[in-house]
Each structure stands twice: as structure tokens, then as C-alpha cells.
Structure 1
Amino acid sequence: MNSFYTNKELAAIGFKSVGENVYISKKSSIYSPEKMTIGNDVRIDDFCILSGKITIKNFVHIAAYSALYGGSDGIEIEDFANISSRVSIYSITDDYSGETMTNPMIPHDFKKVCSKQVYIGKHVIIGSTSVVLPGCIIKEGGSFGAFSFISKSTCAWSIYAGIPVKKLRDRKKDLLILEKKFKSKLGILEES
């Protein structure tokens, strides 16, 4: 028995669009698929939750037990990004100040919800058990150690870790040479 949906089953889920060579676990939970765009060569493992507006580009892996809460503003994940296991990405969250009530069972006029798009750039890798909050722009090549708490936007080609995250050093760009070789091998034309 295959643990991933077949192409026919993926089409029946009702995504806004879904590419080729997509592997989504049958053990994942998908809410509002009509708001989701899935590119080519994407893998989403067991027990992941995808909810709301989400755009996933090409050659992306989302590991087991991760949760993406896109809400109405959405989450956008660029090519070659890697979301490790147990990562939580929120584009929407309740107000924790105590000024309003919280949770989805409370009517909107009794609570204050923060909703902002989350952007995850090309070649970003987010380590296991990390959390990304609404409005974060994670620029190309960002690397985040396990248990990182990402509450603000980050610099490109940098290595971060911690609670909250702190930049440790610059990240090497050698992988861009490998990307060109990889694309050449697959016959993928470079963008101009």
C-alpha cells in the first residue's frame, strides 16, 4: 500500500493547482485545498497539517509533523526550501496580551487576530521544532537551527539559531553552483 496520494487522488482533493511529481502523505491533514498551490517535485510527509492560503513552489520538502497555518494572508515557500519535522508556521495568530479573548470558538468581535503573510525564500532550511510567526520574511538562503523562534524578518544567506533567533554567521553559497548543475542535468532553463 502506497502511503502517498496518487495523481488521481491529488486531483480529487481540489487544490487550486498541483504540479507533477508531488508526494503528499495520506496521513496529512489538508484544510481549504482550493486556496493551495503546489508546484512540481514537492513532498509532504506524515502527520503534516496544511490550512488556508498556501503556495509551495518547486523542489520543496515538508517533513513529518509540521504545520502550516496560512489563514487568508498566506504562506509562500520558494524553490528548494526545506521545512524540517515539527516546524510550525503561522500567518495568523490570536492576541496573547489578555486584552481580547482567544481561540476559534470565540466570535471575531471578542478577539483581535494578527494576520500577515509569511514568505520563505529560495534555499531556506528551517530546523526541527522551529516556529515562524506572522509577517516574517525569511530571505533567500536563510538557515535556522533546531528550536529556532523566528518572530521577525531575516537577512539573506545567513545562519541563525536561538530563542529568539540571532544571526550566527553568513551562510556559504556553494549550493548555487550545485543548483545550476542540477537544473542543467534536468534540462531546466535558467530564469533571465
Structure 2
Amino acid sequence: MDKIYRGIWWITYFFVFRFIPNPFHKIRIFLLRLFGASIAWNCAVYPSVSIWSPRNLTMQSGSALGPRVICYNPGNISIGKNTTVSQGCHLCSGTHDVERASIRTNPFMKLVTKPIIIKDYCWITADVYIGPGVTVNDGVVVGARSVVVKSLSSWSVYAGNPVKLRKTLIKR
């Protein structure tokens, strides 16, 4: 049943979602809601955003997914209020179990999903990768092309590969 749902979603994505002009975010939000996303009406989702499974996406008021964002979300991705995920970011909530004893006898590694939570007032700048199980707490800024594989503390600036704390912000 999941494959049928995703198949119908991908047909809708390829023939409808991608071709809705930029300013018509509410039409794309309507389609995402139709496929199970929990998303506020005043969010922005650009036509080039790729979403693997809308029903595993939650976006709160005032948030945005910029151009060419990839949401590979076999596990949940949750985005808080007034948060921007900028162009080219990759949010990946799935990985594979490589710790198994006998990959030779069964080469199909089990899919492991862990949620990504990006809380309120965050800015994930261009081309950032966020891996499975990461929580980005309130008010975090992640610098361009960073790789985030561990959770980040509130009201801070991070950058690098792997991401490192660069500055603590004063909450206003």
C-alpha cells in the first residue's frame, strides 16, 4: 500500500507540483495536505523541492523550504515556526543497518528511520546536509555546506564538516 501511495504522489509531483509557478505556494500546500502532510497555510514550499513522502512532513506557521531542497523522509521531518531551510539543503531521515553480522548472506540492508526535528526560528543556510535523528533546537543558524549528524544547542551558530559551534547568540 505504501508503494501505491508513493507512486501516486510521484505522478502528482512530476506532472503537477513541479509546474505550479513560484508564487502559488498555497496550491502546493494543498497538494501536500492532500497526501497527508501537516503543514500551515502560510508556509512556502518551492516547486523544485523534492519530498519523498508528504505524510512524513510537518511544517509550522511561517516556515519555508527553499528551491532544490531534498526531503528524503521515510522517517518524520518536523519543521517549527518561522524556520527557513534554504536552497539545496538535504534533509535525510533514513539510513541503513550496516552493523548486521552477515551482509554476505543477505545483501539487502534494513532501512532504519530516525526523525529530524528542526525547531522554531532556525535558518538552515544553503546546501546543508542534516542526517537521521538530528534535532536542531530553537534559534540555530547552520552555515552553508555544513554537515549535521548530531543535535545542535539553542541560539547558536554552527558551520563546517562536521559541524562545529562557531558562536552563541543572545536570545532577544
Give how far 1:173 is off.
2.4
Which has more helix, going by share of residues? 2
* 1:81 Cα deviation after fit: 0.4
Structure 1: gaps spanning 5 or more residues: 17-32, 102-107, 175-192
Contact 1:100–1:112 (CA under 8 A) maintained in structure 2: no
* Aligned partners of 2:25 and 2:43 also within 8 Å: no
Q: Tell me how far 1:95 sits from its aligned partner.
A: 4.6
TM-score (norm 1): 0.68
| Contact kept in structure 1, 2:29 and 2:41, CA below 8 Å | no
Q: Which amino acid aligns with 1:133?
A: G
Structure 1 residues 83 and 7, CA gap change in structure 2 (3 angstroms): closer
Q: Name 2:89's counterpart in structure 1.
A: 87
Aligned counterpart, 1:130: 128
Q: Which residue of 2 aligns with 1:152?
A: 150
Relative to 1, partners in 2 of residues 1:3 and 1:172: Cα closer, same or farther, differing over 3 Å? same
Letter in 1 for 2:90: S
SS of residue in 1 equivalent to 2:166: strand
Higher RCO, 1 vs 2 (CA within 8 Å, ≥6 residues apart): 2
Q: Pick from 56, 59, 81: which aligns with 1:56?
A: 59
> Is the CA contact 2:121–2:138 (under 8 Å) kept in the aligned structure 1?
yes
Distance 2:159 2:39 in 1: 28
Q: In the aligned structure 2, how far is the partner of 1:6 from the partner of 1:81?
A: 16
Query: 1:172 offset after TM fit, Å?
Result: 3.2
Hey, what's the Cα distance between the residues in 2 that align with 1:109 and 1:77? Answer: 34
Number of residues paired by the alignment? Answer: 149
Aligned position for 2:71:
68
Q: Assess if the C-alpha contact under 8 Å between 1:70 and 1:92 holds in 2.
A: yes
User: Is it true that 1:15 corresponds to 2:33 in the alignment?
Assistant: yes
The whole-number CA distance in structure 2 between the counterparts of 1:68 and 1:165 is 20
Alignment map for 1:82-121 (pairs within 5 Å): 82-95=84-97, 100=103, 110-121=108-119
Q: Which amino acid aligns with 1:62?
A: L
The answer for the alignment partner of 1:180 in structure 2 is none
Pair 1:40 & 2:58 matched = no
CA distance in 2, matches of 1:94, 1:168: 31
Give the distance between the partners of 1:147 and 1:136, measured in 2 at CA.
16
Q: 1:112 deviation in Å?
A: 2.4
Q: Gapped runs of 5+ residues in structure 2?
A: 1-18
Scaled by the length of structure 2, what TM-score is found? 0.76
1:134-181 residue CA offsets vs partner (Å, 9 max, x unmatched): 00011001110001100011101110000010001112323xxxxxxx
Partner of residue 143 from structure 1, selected from 141, 144, 147 = 141
Distance 2:98 2:114 in 1: 16
On the 8 A contact 2:138/2:155 being kept in 1, the answer is yes
Pair 50,156 (structure 1): closer, same or farther in 2 beyond 3 Å: same
Letter of the aligned partner of 1:46 in structure 2?
P
